[in-house]
A = this chain, B = another copy of it.
Amino acid sequence: MPSLRLALAQVDTTVGDLDGNAALVRRAAAEAAAAGADLLVLPELALTGYPVEDLALRRSFVDASRAALGHLAQDLLADGLGDLPVLVGYVDRASGPVADGVSSAGRGQREADGRQEGRREGGAAEMPKGLPQNCAALLHGGRQVGRYAKHHLPNYGVFDEFRIFVPGRDLLVARVRGVDVAVAICEDLWQEGGPVAAARDADAELLVVLNASPYERAKNDTRLALCRRRAREAEAVLAYVNAVGGQDDLVFDGGSVVVAPDGEVLARGEAFAEQLLVVDLDLPEGSAQAPAVERVQRVVLSEDPAPPREPVPAPVAEPLEDMAELWGALVLGLRDYARKNGFRQVLFGLSGGIDSAVCAALAVDALGASGLVGVSMPSSYSTEHSQTDADDLAERLGIDYRVHPIAPMVDAFLAHVPMTGVAEENLQARVRGTLLMGISNSEGQLVLATSNKSELSVGYSTIYGDSVGGFAPLKDVAKTDVWRLARWRNADAAAREEREPIPEASITKAPSAELRPDQTDQDSLPEYDVLDALLEDYVERALGRSELLEAGHARDDVEQVVGLVDRAEWKRRQGAPGTKTTPVAFGRDRRLPITTHWREEDA
């Protein structure tokens, strides 16, 4: 039984950084070769970063991706790594007609304009070569010896791949050390039939899957169950390599996994960290007379078995529990947004409340205490305990902390333009936003918006006020989960005998915007546990009014909250990006009209 030493590289690439990403591939290849690996696999679109969005529609970008792949192959050879087969994702152009039928859905066209590359008005047979594809390249001996284009293009949720890519229809099976290795990319794995079935039909012993699969809570369990099912169906070992790192609203969480056909987990990578996962696989020898399967490109790289060598134990990382995983995702999402956009520091208001306290603890974990400037901006409605809690937080974290009372600026506005009620409340928030942006413009920090998903859902934030910022770490975290995170982070610190970062008072006190005397959030909203359960059913599960009532939500709550959510769409549309953590985040994941008279009450 031949053995194959497989290396999976969880790398944190940056969209568009072709040189930097190629350097990550070369580093991984050097490590893999040093570890004696027979094959190295990198994530989906590792060379370009993922997702590339409409960059794929720029001819110059696709040309650059192809050129960078060629240089990478040569550089690997020059590095003395030409013998190591490397599978890496990149953007290429279709080399021939694409799968029948898919063209009928109109991809690549612009209804009235021919300027966007790839426009056509024809059926599948006339589809020209040259439209972009989401590809995996097999590099060996200084050149590209194989290519696989993703068959199944996700076009739901945050994904727009049918907009920018055309699907592939061919398969790639590479013989390495006498073992037949089939290739698939991400969504291909989630679909019945297709590449998984083809891998079985082609008698492949190993199916490697290149992924850039974004984090959602509990998704790891789903992925593992899927990998087990597909390994069984493919009658092959399945190696799933995932990207790691933050990209705008998305965090790729790593957690690569290798599963045997019987479901055994042979190796698992860390979550939220770069890692080269090396695993020795004992596999049946590939058939020299492999069955002829339509559209399979077979590439023979090496028939000889590996030399005798000491097996290496493969790491099997323990899955994280829910809050630890969520914390890790938020830290990585914030860290990578700041780092990849060139920010060393973040800046935001410290109110003494739970949202800014959790943001502060996240920021310190992401960037260190020197990476955060906190600004307390008390008003005449701010309570003394808020000031105390903010001071306490800043002291615990050891951050740059400043206090700017807002009364002089607020009064200057009110002296010239009278505002009362909501107008005056919003004025306070906007003066704070203006102060933060002014400091940022002077000193260069990234401003963070600290709002949570519950507030953004019902529109309880002031546009151009507390919503200002380039990134919103808690955008997709419900208020009740913000509290859970705070308790988890404090408990984690206590378990490590470190000081708890978040003041207990910030966790336990009643939440308030403190924009008028004695205000609390529950003056005008249901209790947060009631609200969050309702929001999950309405926003994430898209239940209608009657379904919400059937699910047990109170009629008054349904009427109030559904209306609030619908009317806040215009504000959310102007919101900053933030890490997706749920099945349906605000932003590209949930696309709704601003102008709409649809009300669930009508149904």
Secondary structure at the A interface, as helix, strand, loop or mixed, is loop
Contacts of A421 in B (CB 8 A): 442
- Tell me, yes or no, whether A123 is within 8 Å of chain B by CB: yes
Which of A9-51 touch B at CB < 8 Å? 14-20, 49, 51
Contact yes or no, A105 B542, CB < 8 A? no
Which of A432-466 touch B at CB < 8 Å? 433-435, 437-439, 441-442, 463-464
Contacts of A99 in B (CB 8 A): 101, 104
Contacts of A546 in B (CB 8 A): 60
* Copies of this chain present: 2
- Tell me, yes or no, whether A530 is within 8 Å of chain B by CB: no
The closest CB in chain B to the CB of A541 belongs to: B115
Contacts of A336 in B (CB 8 A): 595
The closest CB in chain B to the CB of A440 belongs to: B423
A162 contact from B59, B107, B192, B583, Cβ within 8 A = B107
Contacts of A426 in B (CB 8 A): 437-438, 441
- Tell me, yes or no, whether A540 is within 8 Å of chain B by CB: yes
Q: With the chains together, A441 CA to B437 CA distance in Å?
A: 22
A438 contact from B20, B101, B153, B417, Cβ within 8 A = B417
Contacts of A222 in B (CB 8 A): 112-113
- Tell me, yes or no, whether A544 is within 8 Å of chain B by CB: yes
Supposing A18-B602, A416-B409 touch, asked if A121 and B191 sit within 8 A by C-beta, the answer is yes
Please name 17 pairs of A and B residues whose Cβ atoms are closer than 8 Å in the assembled complex, sorted by A. A16-B599, A104-B191, A105-B153, A106-B159, A106-B161, A109-B154, A112-B216, A112-B223, A246-B595, A336-B595, A340-B597, A409-B416, A419-B442, A421-B442, A423-B438, A426-B438, A430-B437
Chain A interface residues (CB < 8 Å from chain B): 14-20, 49, 51-55, 57-61, 63-64, 99-102, 104-113, 115-117, 121-123, 126, 151-157, 159-163, 167, 186-187, 190-194, 213, 216, 219, 222-223, 246-248, 336-337, 340-341, 404, 408-409, 411-413, 415-423, 426-427, 430-431, 433-435, 437-439, 441-442, 463-464, 468, 470, 540-547, 570, 573-577, 583-584, 588, 590-600, 602-603
Q: Would you list the 6 A-B pairs with minimal beta carbon distance, nearest first?
A: A101-B101, A60-B544, A16-B598, A423-B441, A17-B597, A412-B412
